[in-house]
Every structure is written in structure tokens, then in C-alpha cells.
Amino acid sequence: MVMATAEQIKMLIQSHFDKDDDRFKTVVLQLAAYESKKGHTSLAREIRSIIDKSKSSGKVIHLNKDFGDMIASSISENRLSELVVEDDIKARVERILKEFRQQDKLKKHGMNNRRKILLAGPPGTGKTMTASILAGELHLPLCTIMVDKLVTKFMGETSAKLRQIFETIAETQAVYLFDEFDAIGSERSMDSDVGEMRRVLNSFLQFIEQDQSLSLIVAATNNLRLIDQALFRRFDDVLHYRLPKESEIEKLIKNRLSGFIDSKLELKEVVKKCIFLSHAEIARACDDAIKEAILNDKETVDKKLLYLMIAERNSVYQRGE
């Protein structure tokens, strides 16, 4: 039986690289059966439930192999409750979900749900995470297109590749995230090859305008100033992400430390130390503090430890000052 699992692991790896999902699932189910025979019933149940969930999340997206690591398709488990943002942004995300869920109602009156969304803001403020939450909440697959890689790899034929992507968008309903989107929209990147970037931008504008699919199209950028103005009106909504305010910092720390938070921990001063940090950096400082606590056999994170990890994050920005 031990050999059987070694074989199964090899088969899992092989089927992953062959992109053979059916075979992959068969092996996973065999593994579940094997674990359940060994008496590991809850593990077996968990494994089966992962498979069931991925089934209900719809189809896996098949894209041309040329795209390699420029496009990744995944299933998201992210939920809106994880997102810590200002109320106005949260309300906008909720509205996208609500309109999507009730699109039939809107269509009866000749209206469409908002489905072309631009997310802009500094690094680490939750743009990529939001795309993943939209997919998770709507039980749609998430397909991420790394625009910067696409543009560099396919110089000269980017427009043709974009066309292929928009064909897939029309065929397979999913959340499509155009990440690092400024690689297309920026005026700066046009210095390199003005003609080519102009063409790519124009074809993107045309494709996004023509798109009438059932998919959600999300573009994310942290370089809004560089985005061509003509782009804005092609989107149904533009969400501006910001660095967290004090109340959000506090919420983020509480969420992130969850079980490791010391009830006596006074967060007011800690929060002040995070004022220039992004959500991602604060989350990382919390995770680092948790790890340190675990390694030192402590049950909670104390103030000193948290300060230390935050100072470490802050130090990244103090170079040359």
C-alpha cells in the first residue's frame, strides 16, 4: 500500500504537467479512498470536498499553451469579509457582486451589470486580492493575465494574443484579471516602441468595448497617472485603492493575528507605527510576529514583537533618508 501512494504522487505530478485534469481528479479520489481505508476518514472527506468544490466552480479554462506562465487559471476561496478597505470601496465591490447576481433582473429592463472594472492604487492595497474575491464570491474561475509579460514576450503580435484572450473571455465565463495593466495603458512604456504600444492599446480599447460576454473583466494597475485617458470610459467602474487609515490598520492587525492576539494588547500606539505601510506589509509584519511567537513557544504575540516586525517593514523605506 505504501508503494501505491508513491505511484499516486508520481501520477499526480505527471497529470499536472500534462494538464490532464480528469486524470488528476481520478488520482485524487483514489488517494481519498486509500486514506479512508487507513482510517483517516476526516482527511478523506476533506480531499473529496476540495474536488467537489472545484466542480461547482465551473470549468477550467483552456488557453493556448504558448501563453505559458503569462496566464494562470485558478479557483479562489477568498471572501469579501477578508478585505479591509474604506467603506466606499467595499460598497463598490458589493455593488459589482449584487449586479452580477441579479443581472437577469437588470436585463429585463435593458440594463447590464457592471462587469468591466479598473482597480488602481499603490502596491499591496488589495487589488489582486479583490479580483480573487470576486471570483471566490461568484464561484467563477479566476484567470490572471500578466500583461507586462504578455507585452514583452509577444512584441509585435500582442494584439493577436489579446484577440485570443478576448475570444476565451467570450467563450468561458470567468473573472479575467489583467494584472500589471499599466504595461498596456502607460504612456511611458510607449517610449520603447511607440507604434507597437499604440496598436496594442488601440486593440485593447476595441476588444474591451466590443466585449459583451458574461465574464467579469478586471484590470489592475498601480500606475494610474500613466494610463491613457481614453481607457477610463471603457470601464464600468474605476476603484481607487488607498493605503489603510488608522481604523483599517487596527482591523487588519486584529484579523491577521486572530488567534494569536493578546486580549491586553493595546493597539493604538502600534497602529501609529504603521501609518505609511500598505495592507500587504502590515499583514506580513503580523505573520512574521506569529511565526516568531510559534517558534518561541508563545501563545500570543506581544507588543514588543509586533513593534519589532513593524519596524522591520518600515526600515525598507528609510534607506537613503
Ligand X SMILES: Nc1ncnc2c1ncn2[C@@H]1O[C@H](COP(=O)(O)OP(=O)(O)OP(=O)(O)O)[C@@H](O)[C@H]1O
Residues of this chain that bind ligand X (CB under 6 A): 82-85, 123-129, 220, 222, 252, 279-280, 283
Grid cell at residue 70: 503569462
**Torsion angle defined by CA atoms of residues 99, 101, 107 and 108, in that order, rounded to the nearest 10 degrees:** -120
Q: Among Mg ion, ligand X, none, what does residue 80 contact (CB within 5–8 Å per kind)?
A: none
Interface size with Mg ion, residues (CB under 5 A): 2
Q: Among ligand X, Mg ion, none, what does residue 283 contact (CB within 5–8 Å per kind)?
A: ligand X
214 or 280: whose CB is closer to ligand X?
280
Residues across the chain:
321
CA distance 52 to 57: 9
CB contact at 8 A, 155 and 193: yes
Element (H, E) at 173: none
**For residue 58, is it left (φ>0), alpha (ψ between -120 and 50) or beta?**
left
CA distance 163 to 204: 8
Q: Among ligand X, Mg ion, none, what does residue 47 contact (CB within 5–8 Å per kind)?
A: none
CA distance 293 to 287: 10
CA distance 27 to 94: 38
27 or 131: whose CB is closer to Mg ion?
131
Contact partners, residue 30, CB within 8 Å, separation at least 6: 8
Q: Among ligand X, Mg ion, none, what does residue 123 contact (CB within 5–8 Å per kind)?
A: ligand X
40 or 254: whose CB is closer to ligand X?
254
* Least distance (Å) between residue 286 CB and ligand X: 10
* Least distance (Å) between residue 123 CB and ligand X: 3
Q: Among ligand X, Mg ion, none, what does residue 116 contact (CB within 5–8 Å per kind)?
A: none
Q: Which stretch binds Mg ion (CB under 5 A): 76-84, 123-131, 205-213, 273-281?
A: 123-131
Judged by CB under 5 A, the chain residues 99 through 118 that form the site for Mg ion are none
132 or 172: whose CB is closer to ligand X?
132
* Least distance (Å) between residue 7 CB and ligand X: 35
Contact partners, residue 208, CB within 8 Å, separation at least 6: 116, 166, 217, 234, 235
170 or 238: whose CB is closer to Mg ion?
238
Grid cell at residue 37: 481505508
127 or 256: whose CB is closer to Mg ion?
127
Residue 273's SS3 state is coil
Contact partners, residue 216, CB within 8 Å, separation at least 6: 96, 100, 115, 117, 134, 138, 140, 174, 175, 176
* Least distance (Å) between residue 137 CB and ligand X: 15
130 lies in the binding site for Mg ion (CB under 5 A): no
144 lies in the binding site for Mg ion (CB under 5 A): no
128 lies in the binding site for Mg ion (CB under 5 A): yes
Chain residue whose CB lies nearest Mg ion: 128
Residues that bind Mg ion (CB under 5 A): 127-128
